[in-house]
Amino acid sequence: MRIEQSPEFQIHLQTLKSKEQIFLETIYNVGNGHFGVRDSNPLQGNNPDYIGSPGLFINGFFDYKEVSYGEKYRGYPDNNQVINRLFDPRAIRIKVGSEDSLTDHFKVENIDKNLDMQTGLLHELFSVTTPENRNFNLVVESFASLSKTNVFGVKYSIIPTNFSDEVEIIKVHDYVNQKVHQQDDDIRVSTDLGQMQLDFIPDNGQPSYLVTTFRSQQGAIITLRLLKTSSQILQLNISEIVTIIMATGVSILPNPVVPKSLNFYLLLAIFIHWLTPICTPTNTFPHWTTTSWIRRSNLN
């Protein structure tokens, strides 16, 4: 079913005066009050060499940062509450032939972006060129659900333009503290971020991560769910492929012949479950096992 677009609700890239990456990441973020995801170069991953400030932010998911004073008086707070920047859920790793976006610098050009403020759908078109001049179009569609406020959805499509080499797509997040390019020219951007720990949760039905904060003792469970992919590509069933991707980093495309367009859909469900709030910051990560987290959150 086609959803008609109302012109007054569209934010098109061509209508914006600034095309700077940091500006676009702010304008084209998606969120629902529970969490927010900044727009990003989907191939940036955890590489601070790219100009960008991507990340997932969960409302109320913070850590403590000690405040330094030149002269401290009674009543001054000992700690700031700093928001945690989790990994970029839009990030993807692509291999084309012997080239790998994780280790090789793929040139990513913004061709078009549009945020439909009526439906909440962000549609983006990127032109990607590898160091060996292979080119493909990458289409990314994403949204933050308003009906299920713990769900972020993203869809990827790859359209090769000048090659027929094998393409591999890897969706794995083996880090949690997102690295970003240092923004020394903007004093409004805080470099203080919370410290987090990432643990993979085995045997949870779907690939899941347990994220815990260091001093505030908060926690969140993030689960990835693969919804749909092209039948031309899959040689394993979905549950096997998702587990392989998340647990070992093996690619989703096991030696395919590249069709005209590659598509796969990913649903990222964000489950937030809190430990008992504490008033005094600690200096150790909470001693909660992944089994106890699953039992407490009713995810098993």
For CA atoms 230, 236, 241, 243, the dihedral sign is positive
Q: Confidence class of residue 152 from pLDDT cuts 50, 70 and 90?
A: confident
Place of tokens 């910051």: 281
Paired with 228 in beta bridges are: 265
The answer on pLDDT for 161 being more than 80 is yes
Look up residue 161 and give its DSSP letter.
S
- pLDDT at residue number 37: 93
Assign residue 295 a region (left: φ > 0; alpha: ψ between -120 and 50; beta: otherwise): alpha
CA separation for the pair 88, 298 (Å, rounded): 26
Task: Decide which of 253 and 279 is more confident.
Answer: 279
Q: What angle do CA 182, 99, 198 make, to 5 degrees?
A: 50
Task: Decide which of 221 and 180 is more confident.
Answer: 221
Task: Decide which of 167 and 119 is more confident.
Answer: 119
Helix (H, G, I), strand (E, B) or coil at 239: helix
Assign residue 97 a region (left: φ > 0; alpha: ψ between -120 and 50; beta: otherwise): left
Pair of tokens at residue 64: 């403590």
Place of tokens 């505030």: 216
- pLDDT at residue number 171: 77
- Give the closest residue to 145 by CA, choosing from 250, 268, 281: 268
CA separation for the pair 242, 89 (Å, rounded): 15
| CB count in 10 Å sphere of residue 61 | 21
Q: Are 219 and 275 in contact (CB under 8 A)?
A: yes
Mean pLDDT value across residues 260-287:
53
- pLDDT at residue number 252: 38
Structural domains for the chain? 7-194+224-269 (2.70.98.40)
- pLDDT at residue number 188: 45
CA separation for the pair 46, 225 (Å, rounded): 21
Helix (H, G, I), strand (E, B) or coil at 84: coil
- pLDDT at residue number 99: 93
Q: Are 126 and 110 in contact (CB under 8 A)?
A: yes
Look up residue 184 and give its DSSP letter.
T
The winner for highest mean pLDDT among 122-126, 168-172, 239-243 is: 122-126
The mean of the pLDDT values for the chain is: 74
Q: Confidence class of residue 28 from pLDDT cuts 50, 70 and 90?
A: very high
Q: Are 130 and 106 in contact (CB under 8 A)?
A: yes
Residue type, 174: D
Encode pLDDT of 171-200 as tens digits.
777 777 777 766 555 544 455 566 788 888
Share of the chain above pLDDT 90, in %: 21
- pLDDT at residue number 289: 45
Encode pLDDT of 71-86 as tens digits.
888 888 888 888 888 8
